[in-house]
Amino acid sequence: MGFLALGINHKTASLDLREKVAFTPETLEAALRAALAEAGVSEIAILSTCNRTEFYGRLSAENTTALLGWLSRHRHLALDEISRSIYQYEDEEAVRHMFRVAAGLDSMVLGEPQILGQMKTAYSQAAAAGTLGPSLERLFQATFAAAKQIRTETAIGANPVSVGFAAVQMARQIFADLRDAEALLIGAGEMIELVGKHLYEQGVTRITVANRTLSRGLALAQQFGGRAVSLEEIPEALVHADIVISSTASPLPLLGKGMVESALKRRRHKPVFMVDIAVPRDIEPEVAELQDVYLYTVDDLQSVVEENMRSRREAAVAAEALVIARATQFMTARREQGAAATVMAYRQQAEALRVQETERAVASLAKGADPREVIERFSRALTNKFLHAPSLALKKAAAEGEAEKMAWAAELLGLRSEVDEKASADKPGDESGASRGGDAA
Protein backbone atom coordinates (compact mmCIF):
# COMPACT_ATOMS: atom_id res chain seq x y z
CA MET A 1 0.00 0.00 0.00
CA GLY A 2 1.61 3.23 -1.18
CA PHE A 3 0.85 6.94 -1.36
CA LEU A 4 -1.95 8.02 -3.62
CA ALA A 5 -3.32 11.43 -4.61
CA LEU A 6 -6.54 11.67 -6.56
CA GLY A 7 -9.06 14.39 -7.23
CA ILE A 8 -10.49 16.93 -9.63
CA ASN A 9 -9.43 20.49 -10.35
CA HIS A 10 -10.05 23.47 -12.65
CA LYS A 11 -8.25 21.68 -15.49
CA THR A 12 -10.34 18.49 -15.42
CA ALA A 13 -13.78 19.47 -14.11
CA SER A 14 -16.38 22.18 -14.68
CA LEU A 15 -17.21 24.69 -11.97
CA ASP A 16 -20.57 22.97 -11.55
CA LEU A 17 -18.94 19.61 -10.75
CA ARG A 18 -16.29 21.21 -8.51
CA GLU A 19 -19.06 22.85 -6.47
CA LYS A 20 -20.87 19.53 -6.07
CA VAL A 21 -17.75 17.70 -4.90
CA ALA A 22 -16.38 20.45 -2.61
CA PHE A 23 -16.42 20.09 1.19
CA THR A 24 -17.10 22.99 3.54
CA PRO A 25 -14.85 23.42 6.61
CA GLU A 26 -17.82 22.57 8.83
CA THR A 27 -18.44 19.19 7.18
CA LEU A 28 -14.88 18.15 6.42
CA GLU A 29 -13.98 16.35 9.66
CA ALA A 30 -17.10 14.17 9.51
CA ALA A 31 -16.39 13.45 5.85
CA LEU A 32 -12.81 12.43 6.67
CA ARG A 33 -13.97 9.93 9.28
CA ALA A 34 -16.64 8.53 6.96
CA ALA A 35 -14.16 8.15 4.09
CA LEU A 36 -11.67 6.42 6.40
CA ALA A 37 -14.28 3.92 7.54
CA GLU A 38 -16.16 3.26 4.30
CA ALA A 39 -13.16 3.17 1.96
CA GLY A 40 -11.11 1.03 4.33
CA VAL A 41 -8.01 3.26 4.20
CA SER A 42 -5.52 3.68 7.02
CA GLU A 43 -4.74 7.38 6.52
CA ILE A 44 -6.49 10.13 4.56
CA ALA A 45 -6.60 13.92 4.15
CA ILE A 46 -8.82 16.11 1.95
CA LEU A 47 -7.85 19.41 0.31
CA SER A 48 -10.97 21.26 -0.84
CA THR A 49 -10.86 24.73 -2.44
CA CYS A 50 -12.84 26.54 -5.13
CA ASN A 51 -10.50 25.12 -7.77
CA ARG A 52 -9.84 21.58 -6.55
CA THR A 53 -10.88 18.74 -4.26
CA GLU A 54 -8.13 16.20 -3.67
CA PHE A 55 -7.69 13.14 -1.48
CA TYR A 56 -4.27 12.17 -0.12
CA GLY A 57 -3.63 8.89 1.63
CA ARG A 58 -2.21 5.40 1.91
CA LEU A 59 -4.39 3.65 -0.65
CA SER A 60 -4.49 0.50 -2.77
CA ALA A 61 -6.44 -0.07 -5.99
CA GLU A 62 -9.31 -1.58 -3.98
CA ASN A 63 -9.37 1.38 -1.60
CA THR A 64 -9.43 3.82 -4.51
CA THR A 65 -12.50 2.15 -6.00
CA ALA A 66 -14.20 2.16 -2.60
CA LEU A 67 -13.31 5.82 -2.03
CA LEU A 68 -14.80 6.91 -5.35
CA GLY A 69 -17.90 4.86 -4.59
CA TRP A 70 -18.22 6.62 -1.24
CA LEU A 71 -17.79 10.04 -2.88
CA SER A 72 -20.45 9.17 -5.44
CA ARG A 73 -22.94 8.20 -2.72
CA HIS A 74 -21.97 11.03 -0.39
CA ARG A 75 -22.48 13.68 -3.08
CA HIS A 76 -25.36 11.95 -4.89
CA LEU A 77 -23.43 11.92 -8.17
CA ALA A 78 -23.17 9.26 -10.84
CA LEU A 79 -19.86 7.41 -10.57
CA ASP A 80 -19.28 7.88 -14.31
CA GLU A 81 -19.63 11.65 -13.95
CA ILE A 82 -16.90 11.74 -11.30
CA SER A 83 -14.65 9.19 -12.99
CA ARG A 84 -14.46 11.22 -16.21
CA SER A 85 -12.81 14.11 -14.34
CA ILE A 86 -10.68 12.21 -11.82
CA TYR A 87 -6.87 12.10 -12.01
CA GLN A 88 -4.68 10.01 -9.76
CA TYR A 89 -0.99 9.72 -8.94
CA GLU A 90 0.82 6.96 -7.08
CA ASP A 91 3.89 6.85 -4.84
CA GLU A 92 6.61 9.26 -6.07
CA GLU A 93 4.25 10.88 -8.59
CA ALA A 94 1.78 11.48 -5.75
CA VAL A 95 4.53 13.08 -3.68
CA ARG A 96 5.55 15.30 -6.60
CA HIS A 97 1.93 16.31 -7.14
CA MET A 98 1.51 17.41 -3.52
CA PHE A 99 4.75 19.38 -3.68
CA ARG A 100 3.61 21.08 -6.91
CA VAL A 101 0.20 21.94 -5.50
CA ALA A 102 1.64 23.43 -2.30
CA ALA A 103 4.13 25.53 -4.28
CA GLY A 104 1.41 26.95 -6.55
CA LEU A 105 2.77 25.20 -9.64
CA ASP A 106 -0.58 23.55 -10.33
CA SER A 107 -2.74 26.60 -9.57
CA MET A 108 -4.94 28.56 -11.96
CA VAL A 109 -2.68 31.55 -11.21
CA LEU A 110 0.88 30.24 -11.35
CA GLY A 111 2.69 30.64 -8.03
CA GLU A 112 -0.28 31.98 -6.05
CA PRO A 113 0.49 31.76 -2.31
CA GLN A 114 -2.97 31.03 -0.86
CA ILE A 115 -2.84 27.34 -1.74
CA LEU A 116 -0.06 26.64 0.79
CA GLY A 117 -2.27 27.96 3.58
CA GLN A 118 -5.13 25.80 2.29
CA MET A 119 -2.83 22.77 2.26
CA LYS A 120 -1.89 23.48 5.90
CA THR A 121 -5.59 23.69 6.76
CA ALA A 122 -6.16 20.29 5.13
CA TYR A 123 -3.36 18.88 7.29
CA SER A 124 -4.79 20.41 10.49
CA GLN A 125 -8.30 19.15 9.76
CA ALA A 126 -7.06 15.61 9.09
CA ALA A 127 -5.09 15.72 12.34
CA ALA A 128 -8.17 16.95 14.24
CA ALA A 129 -10.32 14.20 12.68
CA GLY A 130 -7.80 11.54 13.64
CA THR A 131 -7.25 10.41 10.04
CA LEU A 132 -3.64 11.57 9.78
CA GLY A 133 -1.24 8.69 10.39
CA PRO A 134 2.57 8.74 10.63
CA SER A 135 3.15 8.29 6.90
CA LEU A 136 0.90 11.20 5.87
CA GLU A 137 2.32 13.27 8.71
CA ARG A 138 5.82 12.89 7.27
CA LEU A 139 4.56 13.56 3.74
CA PHE A 140 2.80 16.79 4.74
CA GLN A 141 5.87 18.02 6.63
CA ALA A 142 8.01 17.27 3.58
CA THR A 143 5.45 19.10 1.42
CA PHE A 144 5.62 22.23 3.58
CA ALA A 145 9.44 22.13 3.57
CA ALA A 146 9.53 21.77 -0.23
CA ALA A 147 7.10 24.68 -0.71
CA LYS A 148 9.16 26.86 1.63
CA GLN A 149 12.38 26.07 -0.24
CA ILE A 150 10.74 26.83 -3.59
CA ARG A 151 9.41 30.17 -2.31
CA THR A 152 12.81 31.02 -0.83
CA GLU A 153 15.09 29.93 -3.67
CA THR A 154 12.99 30.87 -6.72
CA ALA A 155 10.98 33.92 -7.81
CA ILE A 156 7.79 31.89 -8.32
CA GLY A 157 5.75 34.26 -6.14
CA ALA A 158 7.87 37.39 -6.26
CA ASN A 159 5.89 39.42 -8.79
CA PRO A 160 2.16 40.30 -8.76
CA VAL A 161 0.04 38.57 -11.39
CA SER A 162 -3.40 39.96 -10.54
CA VAL A 163 -4.51 43.37 -11.76
CA GLY A 164 -5.56 44.38 -8.26
CA PHE A 165 -2.27 43.46 -6.65
CA ALA A 166 -0.32 45.02 -9.52
CA ALA A 167 -2.14 48.30 -8.85
CA VAL A 168 -1.11 48.23 -5.21
CA GLN A 169 2.47 47.33 -6.09
CA MET A 170 2.64 50.34 -8.46
CA ALA A 171 1.35 52.55 -5.66
CA ARG A 172 4.28 51.42 -3.53
CA GLN A 173 6.61 52.82 -6.19
CA ILE A 174 4.99 56.26 -5.90
CA PHE A 175 4.74 56.54 -2.11
CA ALA A 176 7.62 55.96 0.28
CA ASP A 177 5.26 54.57 2.92
CA LEU A 178 1.74 53.49 2.08
CA ARG A 179 0.77 53.69 5.75
CA ASP A 180 0.73 57.48 5.41
CA ALA A 181 -1.57 57.39 2.36
CA GLU A 182 -5.35 57.74 2.16
CA ALA A 183 -7.20 55.73 -0.48
CA LEU A 184 -10.44 56.30 -2.37
CA LEU A 185 -11.92 53.19 -3.96
CA ILE A 186 -14.72 53.76 -6.46
CA GLY A 187 -17.04 50.79 -6.91
CA ALA A 188 -17.80 47.83 -4.64
CA GLY A 189 -17.31 44.81 -6.89
CA GLU A 190 -14.94 41.87 -6.56
CA MET A 191 -11.95 43.73 -8.05
CA ILE A 192 -12.31 46.70 -5.69
CA GLU A 193 -12.74 44.34 -2.75
CA LEU A 194 -9.47 42.60 -3.71
CA VAL A 195 -7.68 45.95 -4.09
CA GLY A 196 -8.98 47.03 -0.69
CA LYS A 197 -7.63 43.87 0.93
CA HIS A 198 -4.21 44.38 -0.65
CA LEU A 199 -4.08 48.03 0.44
CA TYR A 200 -5.12 47.12 3.97
CA GLU A 201 -2.45 44.42 4.14
CA GLN A 202 0.12 47.04 3.08
CA GLY A 203 -0.83 49.25 6.03
CA VAL A 204 -3.35 51.63 4.44
CA THR A 205 -5.90 52.23 7.20
CA ARG A 206 -7.72 55.30 5.84
CA ILE A 207 -9.91 53.86 3.08
CA THR A 208 -13.03 55.43 1.61
CA VAL A 209 -15.38 53.45 -0.64
CA ALA A 210 -17.59 55.39 -3.07
CA ASN A 211 -20.46 53.44 -4.57
CA ARG A 212 -23.81 54.03 -6.23
CA THR A 213 -25.51 51.86 -3.58
CA LEU A 214 -24.34 53.30 -0.28
CA SER A 215 -25.24 50.20 1.76
CA ARG A 216 -23.05 47.98 -0.44
CA GLY A 217 -20.19 50.47 -0.18
CA LEU A 218 -20.57 50.58 3.60
CA ALA A 219 -20.51 46.77 3.88
CA LEU A 220 -17.24 46.71 1.94
CA ALA A 221 -15.65 49.65 3.78
CA GLN A 222 -16.32 48.02 7.14
CA GLN A 223 -13.99 45.15 6.20
CA PHE A 224 -11.10 47.64 6.30
CA GLY A 225 -12.35 49.91 9.07
CA GLY A 226 -13.09 52.57 6.46
CA ARG A 227 -16.04 54.77 5.52
CA ALA A 228 -18.45 54.89 2.59
CA VAL A 229 -19.72 57.79 0.49
CA SER A 230 -22.09 58.14 -2.46
CA LEU A 231 -20.89 58.87 -6.00
CA GLU A 232 -22.10 62.45 -5.58
CA GLU A 233 -19.60 62.91 -2.73
CA ILE A 234 -16.58 61.93 -4.86
CA PRO A 235 -15.42 65.55 -5.52
CA GLU A 236 -15.01 66.14 -1.78
CA ALA A 237 -13.43 62.72 -1.18
CA LEU A 238 -10.88 63.41 -3.96
CA VAL A 239 -9.43 66.29 -1.96
CA HIS A 240 -8.16 63.87 0.71
CA ALA A 241 -7.24 60.93 -1.54
CA ASP A 242 -3.60 60.10 -2.29
CA ILE A 243 -4.59 56.87 -4.05
CA VAL A 244 -7.66 56.57 -6.30
CA ILE A 245 -8.61 53.21 -7.79
CA SER A 246 -11.83 52.87 -9.76
CA SER A 247 -13.68 49.88 -11.16
CA THR A 248 -17.39 50.35 -11.88
CA ALA A 249 -19.81 49.37 -14.61
CA SER A 250 -20.65 53.00 -15.43
CA PRO A 251 -21.10 53.65 -19.19
CA LEU A 252 -19.69 57.17 -18.77
CA PRO A 253 -16.60 58.53 -16.95
CA LEU A 254 -17.16 59.39 -13.30
CA LEU A 255 -14.05 61.52 -12.88
CA GLY A 256 -13.48 64.35 -15.35
CA LYS A 257 -10.47 66.58 -15.84
CA GLY A 258 -12.22 69.56 -14.25
CA MET A 259 -13.20 67.63 -11.10
CA VAL A 260 -9.69 66.33 -10.57
CA GLU A 261 -8.13 69.73 -11.30
CA SER A 262 -10.30 71.35 -8.64
CA ALA A 263 -9.30 68.72 -6.10
CA LEU A 264 -5.61 69.23 -6.92
CA LYS A 265 -5.85 72.94 -6.21
CA ARG A 266 -7.36 72.27 -2.80
CA ARG A 267 -4.65 69.64 -2.18
CA ARG A 268 -2.02 72.29 -3.10
CA HIS A 269 -0.84 69.95 -5.86
CA LYS A 270 0.03 67.09 -3.58
CA PRO A 271 0.57 64.05 -5.93
CA VAL A 272 -2.28 61.64 -6.64
CA PHE A 273 -1.86 58.06 -7.87
CA MET A 274 -4.83 56.91 -9.98
CA VAL A 275 -5.67 53.55 -11.51
CA ASP A 276 -8.65 53.08 -13.81
CA ILE A 277 -9.44 49.36 -13.98
CA ALA A 278 -12.88 49.85 -15.53
CA VAL A 279 -13.86 49.09 -19.12
CA PRO A 280 -15.27 51.47 -20.34
CA ARG A 281 -13.09 53.89 -18.41
CA ASP A 282 -14.21 55.64 -15.22
CA ILE A 283 -11.56 58.39 -15.48
CA GLU A 284 -11.30 60.69 -18.49
CA PRO A 285 -7.97 60.15 -20.35
CA GLU A 286 -7.34 63.93 -20.24
CA VAL A 287 -6.77 63.64 -16.47
CA ALA A 288 -3.34 62.23 -17.29
CA GLU A 289 -2.40 65.67 -18.70
CA LEU A 290 -2.59 67.24 -15.23
CA GLN A 291 0.61 67.75 -13.29
CA ASP A 292 0.91 65.79 -10.06
CA VAL A 293 -1.40 63.04 -11.37
CA TYR A 294 -0.06 59.56 -12.10
CA LEU A 295 -2.83 57.85 -14.08
CA TYR A 296 -2.65 54.21 -15.16
CA THR A 297 -5.21 52.16 -17.08
CA VAL A 298 -6.02 48.47 -17.10
CA ASP A 299 -3.80 48.11 -20.18
CA ASP A 300 -0.83 49.51 -18.26
CA LEU A 301 -1.44 47.05 -15.46
CA GLN A 302 -1.95 44.16 -17.87
CA SER A 303 1.50 44.70 -19.36
CA VAL A 304 2.95 44.53 -15.83
CA VAL A 305 0.99 41.35 -15.12
CA GLU A 306 2.12 39.72 -18.38
CA GLU A 307 5.77 40.58 -17.69
CA ASN A 308 5.46 39.19 -14.18
CA MET A 309 3.83 36.03 -15.52
CA ARG A 310 6.84 35.54 -17.80
CA SER A 311 9.10 35.86 -14.76
CA ARG A 312 7.02 33.32 -12.88
CA ARG A 313 7.10 30.88 -15.75
CA GLU A 314 10.90 31.14 -15.83
CA ALA A 315 11.01 30.60 -12.07
CA ALA A 316 8.69 27.61 -12.45
CA VAL A 317 11.41 25.74 -14.37
CA ALA A 318 13.73 25.94 -11.36
CA ALA A 319 10.83 25.14 -9.04
CA GLU A 320 9.96 21.99 -10.97
CA ALA A 321 13.57 20.81 -10.66
CA LEU A 322 13.38 21.31 -6.89
CA VAL A 323 10.11 19.36 -6.76
CA ILE A 324 11.71 16.39 -8.52
CA ALA A 325 14.79 16.48 -6.29
CA ARG A 326 12.81 16.80 -3.05
CA ALA A 327 10.34 14.06 -4.03
CA THR A 328 13.17 11.66 -4.90
CA GLN A 329 14.88 12.48 -1.61
CA PHE A 330 11.66 11.87 0.34
CA MET A 331 10.95 8.52 -1.33
CA THR A 332 14.56 7.38 -0.89
CA ALA A 333 14.40 8.16 2.83
CA ARG A 334 11.05 6.35 3.07
CA ARG A 335 12.47 3.22 1.39
CA GLU A 336 15.46 3.33 3.73
CA GLN A 337 13.07 3.36 6.68
CA GLY A 338 11.66 0.09 5.37
CA ALA A 339 14.97 -1.57 6.25
CA ALA A 340 15.08 -0.09 9.74
CA ALA A 341 13.36 -3.04 11.44
CA THR A 342 15.65 -5.58 9.77
CA VAL A 343 18.79 -3.59 10.58
CA MET A 344 17.71 -3.22 14.21
CA ALA A 345 16.97 -6.96 14.56
CA TYR A 346 20.35 -7.82 13.01
CA ARG A 347 22.16 -5.46 15.36
CA GLN A 348 20.34 -6.92 18.38
CA GLN A 349 21.28 -10.43 17.30
CA ALA A 350 24.94 -9.43 16.87
CA GLU A 351 24.94 -7.69 20.25
CA ALA A 352 23.52 -10.78 21.96
CA LEU A 353 26.28 -12.94 20.43
CA ARG A 354 28.92 -10.44 21.49
CA VAL A 355 27.68 -10.37 25.10
CA GLN A 356 27.50 -14.18 25.21
CA GLU A 357 31.07 -14.67 24.02
CA THR A 358 32.39 -11.83 26.19
CA GLU A 359 30.96 -13.47 29.31
CA ARG A 360 32.63 -16.76 28.37
CA ALA A 361 35.97 -15.05 27.83
CA VAL A 362 35.74 -13.18 31.14
CA ALA A 363 34.91 -16.44 32.93
CA SER A 364 37.97 -18.16 31.38
CA LEU A 365 40.24 -15.28 32.41
CA ALA A 366 38.89 -15.47 35.94
CA LYS A 367 39.95 -19.13 36.07
CA GLY A 368 43.51 -18.18 35.13
CA ALA A 369 43.48 -19.17 31.46
CA ASP A 370 46.17 -17.74 29.19
CA PRO A 371 44.91 -14.31 27.99
CA ARG A 372 46.17 -14.78 24.42
CA GLU A 373 44.41 -18.16 24.13
CA VAL A 374 41.21 -16.63 25.56
CA ILE A 375 41.31 -13.77 23.04
CA GLU A 376 41.98 -16.16 20.13
CA ARG A 377 39.13 -18.45 21.20
CA PHE A 378 36.82 -15.44 21.72
CA SER A 379 37.52 -13.94 18.28
CA ARG A 380 37.15 -17.29 16.46
CA ALA A 381 33.88 -18.10 18.18
CA LEU A 382 32.45 -14.64 17.52
CA THR A 383 33.52 -14.71 13.87
CA ASN A 384 32.06 -18.21 13.34
CA LYS A 385 28.74 -17.22 14.87
CA PHE A 386 28.53 -14.02 12.79
CA LEU A 387 29.26 -15.96 9.60
CA HIS A 388 27.13 -19.04 10.25
CA ALA A 389 23.73 -17.87 8.95
CA PRO A 390 25.10 -15.94 5.91
CA SER A 391 27.32 -18.91 4.95
CA LEU A 392 24.39 -21.34 4.99
CA ALA A 393 22.26 -18.94 2.92
CA LEU A 394 25.09 -18.49 0.37
CA LYS A 395 25.62 -22.24 -0.01
CA LYS A 396 21.88 -22.75 -0.49
CA ALA A 397 21.73 -19.99 -3.15
CA ALA A 398 24.74 -21.49 -4.97
CA ALA A 399 23.24 -24.99 -4.89
CA GLU A 400 20.00 -23.69 -6.37
CA GLY A 401 21.79 -21.70 -9.08
CA GLU A 402 20.54 -18.31 -7.88
CA ALA A 403 23.28 -16.18 -9.44
CA GLU A 404 21.51 -12.86 -8.82
CA LYS A 405 21.17 -13.62 -5.12
CA MET A 406 24.85 -14.56 -4.98
CA ALA A 407 25.87 -11.31 -6.68
CA TRP A 408 23.64 -9.27 -4.37
CA ALA A 409 25.07 -11.07 -1.32
CA ALA A 410 28.61 -10.28 -2.46
CA GLU A 411 27.67 -6.60 -2.73
CA LEU A 412 25.89 -6.69 0.65
CA LEU A 413 28.96 -8.21 2.30
CA GLY A 414 31.32 -5.74 0.65
CA LEU A 415 32.97 -8.45 -1.48
CA ARG A 416 32.02 -7.27 -4.96
CA SER A 417 35.54 -6.30 -6.01
CA GLU A 418 37.11 -9.47 -4.56
CA VAL A 419 34.57 -11.71 -6.33
CA ASP A 420 35.13 -9.90 -9.64
CA GLU A 421 38.92 -10.23 -9.31
CA LYS A 422 38.68 -13.97 -8.58
CA ALA A 423 36.29 -14.51 -11.50
CA SER A 424 38.69 -12.65 -13.78
CA ALA A 425 41.68 -14.70 -12.55
CA ASP A 426 39.83 -17.98 -13.03
CA LYS A 427 38.72 -17.09 -16.59
CA PRO A 428 40.57 -19.16 -19.25
CA GLY A 429 42.99 -17.29 -21.48
CA ASP A 430 42.22 -16.41 -25.12
CA GLU A 431 43.84 -19.39 -26.84
CA SER A 432 42.93 -18.18 -30.30
CA GLY A 433 44.91 -15.03 -29.64
CA ALA A 434 47.92 -17.08 -28.52
CA SER A 435 47.64 -19.22 -31.63
CA ARG A 436 47.62 -16.17 -33.85
CA GLY A 437 50.67 -14.92 -32.02
CA GLY A 438 52.48 -18.22 -32.84
CA ASP A 439 51.60 -17.94 -36.49
CA ALA A 440 53.01 -14.46 -36.62
CA ALA A 441 56.22 -15.62 -35.11
Phi, psi of 225 (to 5 degrees): 65, 25
Residues involved in catalysis: 50
- 309 burial (CB, 10 Å; 0-12 / 13-18 / 19+) is middle
* 422: number of Cβ within 10 Å: 11
- Distance between CA 237 and CA 214 in Å, rounded? 14
Cβ atoms of 229 and 237 within 8 Å: the answer is: yes
CB 46 within 8 A of CB 30: no
Cα gap 87→290, rounded to integer Å: 55
Distance of CA 109 to the CA centre of its chain: 14
Burial of 154 (0-12, 13-18, 19+ CB in 10 A): buried
Task: Give 178's contacts (C-beta < 8 A, 6+ positions apart).
Answer: 171, 172, 199, 202, 203, 204
